[in-house]
Structure 1
Amino acid sequence: MELTLAQALTALYFTVDIALRVVAIVVVPYNRRPAAAIAWLLIIMVQPIVGWIVFSLLGNNRLPAGRRKKMAAIQEVIGETTLDVPDAPPLPGRPDWLTGVIDLNRTLSSMPHVGPSKAIVWGEFDAQLQAMARRIDEAERFVHVEFYLIVASERTEPFFAALERATARGVTVRVLVDHLTSVRYPRRKETVARLEAMGAELQDMLPLRPWRGQWQRPDLRNHRKLVVIDGRLGFTGSLNLIDPSYLWRKNLRRGLQWRDTWVELEGPAVLALDALFWSDWWAETNELVELATEAPESDGDLNASVVPSGPGFEGEINLRVFLELLHAAEQRITIVSPYFVPDDAMRYAITSAALRGIDVELFASEIGDQFWTYHAQRSYYEELLRAGVRITLFAKPTVLHSKFLTIDDRVSIIGSSNIDMRSFGLNFEVSMLVEGASMVTQLEGIADAYRQQSTQLTLDAWMARPRIAQAFDSIARLTSALQ
């Protein structure tokens, strides 16, 4: 019997439909977390054609081959440069377990743990901008600026004015900004014009311009935030260089204000921050320079090492280092993370710490700026509360955007990395592993100030939340596994 055209097309459709489902079962789970694989398979099984299109765009977190080659080359250069740099002697009172964490980071990243270093933690936006402006005014050779987001505005004017003064006296200013993020925010053209007019060298990171052959997974982003001045002073943390409202009308209507933590660093660890800047600069410009090896002097009481991470590094370095710290804690863990969507390993590490009697406190925001991420984060609260984790919610309309950990009384982490699967697998991040009681004291002081503006979440209150909110939490938790 001869098939009609409609019957033939129907048969072809079902053949392709079945083939796409079968191929997905083989392809999707390869080298992928089970939770992520299941989520992708669910999407493809519901609608194979649409699911495969989305998977082809967002299912691969590998960089293009050319960029991977560059990243491998710069990591080799960093490894050769730091090979003979010894780790600093342990500070008095160093816990025995910290040496293993330091060794892990150095094996994966080649970054040495060096000192002595000095750190000042800045907790308010205007103070953060003024601190950078003062240090930029001291620059004699170069200022390296790398941010996820840079926008010239009235609130960021002290920083831009300091850069203008620096270029006017002959200082080289190099600026890196994440491309796709920056074009989504207001005042992009004005910001670029301002930087170009002052003579700064500006480069977009991970540009997404298919018409120029620049393409990678759209949500692979460079999320690092750092400033290096003459290789002797550095800044890093959670800050984006934009008005605390982020200038979007919806934020202004809601009165949202972002709050960050920013650390000023002096000492040999600044060289590692600068090496990270140069790796990103070379990836975008092909300009490769000899890395500085002469450590700046400091009379500080800290040791520190850079923890770099991102698709260009193997082994999810930040996740591994964070897990080691959580498993090793003996007294107290403080976690401040605006986006908290842990994988299974992180979830078990946190709840196990609480169950073995460690005082674990998680700071998050009462309000969210990203709907699905906010609800995905909330889906973990019941398990955390039942395990004994204290959840402290910063009062709205502030979005608590700080990102740091303190472990007991001598070890801390501060940087750009959230406790979520995006920061562990998709974003380029920078964190500082800091050894020393004075840094923990400063960060715990910041946390104390947060508590004054926060409420403690109880299990009873949480279980009484509206059913519709519970439904959104559950749905968001499923989609959060996609990477």
Structure 2
Amino acid sequence: MLLSTSVVATIVLCFHVIGVFAAMHAVMTVRTAPGAIAWAGSLLLIPYLALVPYLVFGSSNFVGYVNARRFYRAQMRELRHGMEPREREACIVRQPHHPGLRALPRLTGLHCLSGNHVQLLVDGQATFAAIFAALKSARRVALVQFFIVHDDELGRELQALLCERAAAGVEIYFLYDSIGCHALPGHYVRRMAECGVKVSAFAPHRGFVNRFQLNFRNHRKLVVVDGERAFIGGHNVGNEYMGRRPPLAPWRDTHIEVRGPAVLDLQMTFAEDWYWAAREVPTLLLPPPEPAGAMVCQVVPSGPADSQETCSLFFVEAIQAARNRLWITTPYFVPDEAVFAVLRLAVLRGVDVRILMPGRADHKVVFAASTLYAYQAICAGIRIYRYIPGFLHQKVMLIDDELAAVGTANLDNRSFRLNFELTVMTADRAFASQVEGMLLADFAQAREIGRDEYLAAPGPRRVAMHVAKLFAPIL
């Protein structure tokens, strides 16, 4: 019995010693003070319960990953500058007239560019019809990147198309996130590789460790064809995104098609991700020299390897720029303090602030936390709507009568600090008017909620909401 007690004491002591070192690691690497305090406190007090979650959700070897990614990014930036012709230089907007765009070139390291055309793709049918048509017409290179790919009807259609184009001599690069596609069977990617498609999985860590790292995922959805056309937005590849899978059907999501000089910056974003995953530079093509339109675009890639918190600062800058109207659609409303503060300030400036959220939950903990944040937003004068027909997954922002943003970033800490995201901000009154029409149709199928959604909830449910909010740094 004495020996058994000694063994147990030794094991507990080892856990606490490891917990001390892990807590020191958390203090040095976790970006936010609340997150660092939460991890360090848990690792010091209950290391036998906190060590495994820290391995799954914490920083792990993230500092080395950040340094490596910055090195690769610097190399890719040098390559891009070597590719820029005089026609591209002429498209650079040195001093954007709209205040919402002025900080973004320095924040992202990418120029604000004119001469673009952006087309709104308002649902899964329009999105994949456009993407598949572009891939069928591909002549030289296609870059394809998704966070989630399912081996279902839509996924197999994409697989067959990529294999067919690779057999026709088109260079196909297919990048998927290893955790987002955890359910994708191995034979799916092997089939594409056998057909000549270059396939790679994105992972923040090499080998077995990546299976335990649920944070720092690549959440981008991007397709670029022949350097001429790019598609980005909220859709992944799966039947649910086509509205074919209850109970979340019909699925509400938005994509855009981009043409013009901004396509090169979108290619470079893919190239950085591919270079990290496969250790090679993909074939890149310059967009046509003639302007595709008259729209001004700013590409905003963001991720945990950035020197600054690009995604959160992007939202802060965009919200601060609003003078009359700020409409946001997001599936997950778990803002950080900075974003929540500027949302409240926008209301105090007299801005019409509306946020459209799902009426159905796909993640119960996130939905509970979002409900509490929604209540607090309503108390501050923000109008909150819930989309009724099905699950709302789109990530769209409309600012006044000129600025509109469409991309992959949600209004939550996971997008702000933990995931690699991609957004395109546009400055064009005609396109903003199209986005306005789309959102008005969405609001017409939503109901505005009040404080009663929270106040009328049973006591245990309200307690659950507050508990869920404690996990906001990793939601």
TM-score normalized with structure 1 length: 0.87
Check the 8 A contact 2:142/2:224 in 1, yes or no. Answer: yes
Q: Classify the secondary structure of the residue corresponding to 1:320.
A: helix
Q: Deviations over 1:58-98 (max 9, x none)?
A: 22176373674254233343156348764846699x75413
| Residue in structure 2 matched with residue 144 of structure 1 by the alignment | 143
- Give the C-alpha shift of residue 395 in structure 1: 1.0
Match of 1:324 in 2: 317
SS at match of 1:363: strand
Q: Deviations over 1:146-176 (max 9, x none)?
A: 0101234324565445434423432111110
Q: Which whole-Å CA distance do the structure 1 matches of 2:312 and 2:320 have between them?
A: 12
Tell me the residue number matched to 1:225: 221
- The equivalent of 1:240 in structure 2 is 236
Q: 2:338 aligns with which of 332, 345, 348?
A: 345
The aligned counterpart of 2:357 is 364
Distance (whole Å) between structure 2 residues aligned to residue 408 and residue 167 of structure 1: 44
Amino acid at match of 2:252: R
Deviation at 1:117, TM superposition (A): 0.7
Bigger drift between 44-53 and 426-435 goes to 44-53
Equivalent-residue separation in structure 1 for 2:183 and 2:152 (angstroms): 16
* Contact 1:82–1:111, Cα closer than 8 Å, also in 2: no
Instruction: Pick the aligned partner of 1:200 from 197, 208, 211.
Output: 197
Q: How does 1:260-279 map to 2 (within 5 A)?
A: 260-279=253-272
Tell me the distance in 2 between the aligned counterparts of 1:224 and 1:233: 16
- 1:306 and 1:245 map into 2 onto residues whose CA distance is 24
Residue matched to 1:405: 397
Q: Select 1:377's aligned residue among 363, 370, 374.
A: 370
Q: How far does residue 482 in structure 1 lie from its aligned partner after superposition?
A: 4.2
The answer as to whether partners of 1:87 and 1:113 remain within 8 angstroms in 2 is: no
Corresponding letter in the other structure for 2:223: V
Alignment coverage as a number of residue pairs: 470
Mapped partners of 1:167, 1:11: distance in 2: 60
**For residues 245 and 81 of structure 1, what CA distance do their matches in structure 2 show?**
33
Between the aligned partners of 2:121 and 2:241, the Cα distance in structure 1 is 19
Is the partner of 1:131 in helix, strand or coil?
helix
Inter-CA distance 262–194: structure 2 relative to 1 (3 Å threshold): farther
Q: Identify the match of residue 100 of structure 2 among 98, 121, 129.
A: 98
Question: Could you report, residue by residue, the CA deviation over 1:270-301 in whole angstroms, capped at 9, with x for unpaired residues?
Answer: 01111111111111222125755565433423
The separation in 1 between residues aligned to 2:155 and 2:9, in whole angstroms, is: 61
Change (3 A) 1:72 1:20: closer
**Once the 2 structures are TM-superposed, how far is the Cα of residue 235 of structure 1 from its aligned partner?**
0.4
The equivalent of 1:468 in structure 2 is 460
Whether the 8 Å contact between 1:40 and 1:482 is mirrored in structure 2 is: no
Amino acid at match of 1:452: A
Counterparts of residues 162-311 of structure 1 (less than 5 Å): 162-185=161-184, 188-189=185-186, 191-206=188-203, 210-211=207-208, 217-244=213-240, 252=245, 254-288=247-281, 292-293=285-286, 296-311=289-304
State how far apart, in whole Å, the 2-side matches of 1:79 and 1:316 are: 22
Quote how far apart the aligned CAs of 1:309 are. Answer: 1.1
Q: What secondary structure does 1:36 align onto?
A: helix
The Cα shift of 1:183 comes to 2.2
* Deviation by residue 1:112-157 (Cα, 9 ceiling, x = unmatched): 1112111111112122111112212221111110010123432456
In 2, Cα distance between the equivalents of 1:469 and 1:76? 51
What TM-score do you get using the length of structure 2 for normalisation?
A: 0.88
Q: In the alignment, which residue of structure 2 is the partner of 1:128?
A: 127
Give the 3 Å change call, closer, same or farther, for CA 448–198 of structure 1 in structure 2. farther
* Cα distance, 1:40–1:140 mapped onto 2, change above 3 Å: same
Question: Secondary structure at the residue paired with 1:258?
Answer: coil
Q: Which amino acid aligns with 1:117?
A: N
Deviating more after overlay: 378-387 vs 11-20 = 11-20
For 1:261, the aligned partner's letter is: T
Structure 1: any 5+ residue segments left out of the alignment? none
Q: 1:317 to 1:253 in 2, by over 3 A?
A: closer
How well do the aligned residues superpose, as a CA RMSD in angstroms? 3.2
- Return closer, same or farther for 1:78/1:215 CA change in 2, 3 Å cut-off: farther
Q: In 1, are the aligned partners of 2:332 and 2:370 still within 8 Å (CA)?
A: yes
Distance of 1:210 and 1:415 partners within structure 2: 30
- Give, in angstroms, the shift of residue 386 of structure 1: 1.0
Is contact 2:23-2:43 (8 Å) kept?
Answer: no
- Which amino acid in 1 is paired with 2:225? I
Q: Secondary structure at the match of 1:432?
A: strand
Give the whole-Å Cα distance in 2 for the aligned partners of 1:378 and 1:411. Answer: 28
CA distance in 2, matches of 1:22, 1:133: 52
Do the aligned partners of 2:138 and 2:225 also contact (CA within 8 Å) in 1?
yes
SS in 2 for 1:203: strand
Matched, 1:73 2:59: no
CA–CA separation in structure 1 for the residues paired with 2:353 and 2:43: 39
Residue by residue, what CA displacement relative to the aligned partner does 1:317-376 show, whole Å, maximum 9, x if unpaired?
121121111112111111111112111101111121112211001011011111211111
Alpha-carbon distance in 1 for matches of 2:362, 2:247: 10
Identity of aligned residues (%): 26
Q: Is the 8 A contact 1:180 1:208 kept in 2?
A: no
Question: 1:309–1:318: 8 Å Cα contact kept in structure 2?
Answer: yes
